[in-house]
Amino acid sequence: MSEHGPAPVTGERRLGGTPIAAAVLRLVLRFEGDQLGLILVLLAVWLTLVLAEAPLSRRWPPAFAVYMVLQAAVVLVLLGQSDGSDYFGILLAVPSMQAMQRRPVRWAEIMRDRRSSGVAQAEEGR
């Protein structure tokens, strides 16, 4: 806490809570018994991974790649437990946004590639 009050909550922390809260609320209404227990454990693993990513990646940069694979695996297992609802897929939003923060889009390269492919297509049409 600083002298001006508590530190603001970062977007990553807010974003991590929203999808997991939605998933927990929906799963409590749809699942029961052992399946509910397994899904709660998997969601706890997902949340632990989200919270551990930043400190681990600072200490060991290759951890981010491992994190991405583990996050995808957890969500795929959750989707496999689903009865046709795909709302667990929203949990992929957090690691996707984290990946975009790591590798920002280079719009100049994208536009250059689009223009060069457009030129090639226009020449083929002649």
6 assigned to some structural domain:
no
112 assigned to some structural domain:
yes
pLDDT at 123 over 60: no
* Token pair recorded at residue 66: 């491992």
pLDDT at 70 (0 to 100): 93
What are residue 29's DSSP bridge partners?
Answer: none
pLDDT at 8 over 70: no
Return the HEC string of 32-70: CHHHHHHHHHHHHHHHHHHHHHHHHHHHCCCHHHHHHHH
pLDDT at 107 (0 to 100): 66
3 assigned to some structural domain:
no
Determine what percent of the chain falls in helix, strand and coil, rounding each to the nearest 5.
80, 0, 20
d(CA 59, CA 57): 5
What residues make up the domain containing 30?
11-124
Q: If you search the block for the tokens 């001006």, which residue do you land on?
A: 4
d(CA 30, CA 86): 12
pLDDT at 29 (0 to 100): 78
Q: What is the mean pLDDT of residues 49-60?
A: 88
Q: Which string of b and e fits 29-60 if b means at least 16 CB within 10 Å? A: eebeeeeeeebeebbebbbebbeebeebbeee
Q: What is the mean pLDDT of residues 59-87?
A: 85
Quickly state the pLDDT bin for 45 (edges 50, 70, 90). very high
Q: Residue 118: which residues within 8 A CB-CB, separation 6 or more? A: none
87 assigned to some structural domain:
yes
Q: If you search the block for the tokens 């437990």, which residue do you land on?
A: 81
Number of domains in the chain: 1
29 assigned to some structural domain:
yes
Among the residue ranges 11-20, 29-38, 52-61, 108-117, the one predicted with the least confidence is: 11-20
pLDDT in tens, 76-87: 888 888 777 667
pLDDT at 80 (0 to 100): 86
52 assigned to some structural domain:
yes
20 assigned to some structural domain:
yes
Specify the pTM. 0.62
40 assigned to some structural domain:
yes
